[in-house]
Structure formats: structure tokens, C-alpha cells
Amino acid sequence: MAELTQDYVNGLGLKSYGAKAATTDKNELGQNDFLNLMITQLKNQDPTDPVKNEDFVAQLAQFSTVSGIEKLSSAFGELSKTMSQNQTLQAASLVGNKVLIPAQSAELDEGQGVSGALNLKSSVGSVNVEVLGPGGDLVRTINLGSLSSGLQEFSWDGLLDDGTAAPAGAYQFKVTAQTDGATESLETLLDGEVQSVTMDKNGGGLMLSVLGIGSVSFADVYRIG
């Protein structure tokens, strides 16, 4: 019976059992434990209704499948960890570079301007960029005219409507488009300099600290440089 069991094990690609078998964790069902259970099952089976060979092979195959899935899961875990480490190293090179990210506001120094863009799915007419000051008042309006689909750039030179430098503070940017008499709000993308790169503690991936804007997900970056 032992030789027959060993033949089934070898045929299914399982490691040999016995004196040379590897020691398993006490909380896990190892190959030896599994085979001992099967041998006990054979010893205590009903002589009038013995376990069929097909059932015996099926149980061995199931054990082999579960073992293979556990090893595959472990391998994917190691691969995921390696990829995450590589991504962190690559993202670290972003420090000091500019990224284009979804944002509606930025903390600016006196007279400091900002550049941004709009990611348009289709052509729009009469696009306006409204710059709101720290108090929420409109301090500058930039007319971009009609724009076609795609990534369209815009910039603010940091000056108010009267030509003086805008004071330091947090500025909001609202972009609207007039198309066929209807007003549509558009998503605003702003350029910002990356100060640092960290890993989200909640497993959300890499987070970038962008000067004047704050913390944003690396996955939300539209453009680098």
C-alpha cells in the first residue's frame, strides 16, 4: 500500500514523503499529515464499500491543486512587493520636477503665476479661466477662445486685472466654456513642483507632495515635466 501511495504522489508531481519530507508548520496541514489521514481513511473504511481508486486519486489531485495555488499566491505577493519597490525608486526621481495634476487651487507667493491645462473630450467654445483671490473675489479673467479636443494649455502671469502683482495667498481657478448657449464647467489641471514622494499607509499607492497644491496620488498625474 505504501508503494502504491508513493506512485500516486510521484505521478501527481508531489514531493516524496517519509523520513526525508520537509518539516511543516504546526498550524498547517502538510503532505505527511494529508497522507496519514488518507491511510487512516483506508484502514477504517467499510470493507463492503471500499474507497474507489478514482476517489483516492481525486483527493490527491485536490491537495496538489491547493498547494499549487498557495505557492502561486506567495509568488505573486513577492512580485507585487518588488514592483512596488521599483515604482517607489522611479517616483523618487520626480522630486524637483513639475507634474500636471487635477487641482482647482494653489498657494502662491506674491506675483507668482501658474500654468495649467484642460483635457477636452470634444471642441468647446469661448473658454474662460477665472482666477479668484484669497477672499474669493474675482481678480483676473483669461479668455482662451474656442478650443479643440485634447490637452489645451493655459497660464496666468500672476498679475491682477489692473496690472499689479497679486499678493501671496491661495488662489482658485474656475474654467467654464460657452457652447451653443450653455455654460459648462471644465476640470482644471495645474502644474506643480514635486517636493517629496511617500507611500500611502492605507495601501493607496504612491503619494506626491506638490508645492502649493498639497498631497496627490501618483495615479492622478496627467503629465510629467
Tens digits of residue pLDDT in 58-86: 766 676 676 667 676 776 667 666 666 66
195 sits in which H/E element: strand 189-199
- pLDDT at 133 exceeding the cut of 90: yes
The DSSP symbol for 202 reads: T
Average pLDDT over residues 200-216: 84
Residue 181, Ramachandran bin (φ over 0: left; ψ between -120 and 50: alpha; else beta): left
Helix (H, G, I), strand (E, B) or coil at 109: coil
Helix (H, G, I), strand (E, B) or coil at 191: strand
**Where does the chain have alpha helices with state H?**
2-11, 31-43, 53-92
134 close to 170: Cβ distance less than 8 angstroms: yes
Q: What is the pLDDT of residue 93?
A: 81
- Which residue did the predictor score with more confidence, 185 or 58? 185
- Which residue did the predictor score with more confidence, 80 or 156? 156
Q: Is the pTM of this model over 0.75?
A: no
Q: What is the pLDDT of residue 218?
A: 87
Cα distances (angstroms) measured from residue 46 to each of 41, 42, 106, 224: 10, 9, 79, 72
Q: What is the pLDDT of residue 12?
A: 42
The rounded mean pLDDT for the chain is 78
Q: What is the pLDDT of residue 206?
A: 83
> 9-13, 50-54, 89-93, 181-185: which has the minimum mean pLDDT?
9-13
Q: How many percent of the chain have pLDDT more than 70? A: 62
- pLDDT at 91 exceeding the cut of 80: no
- Which residue did the predictor score with more confidence, 224 or 27? 224
Closest CA to 114 of 162, 173, 161: 173
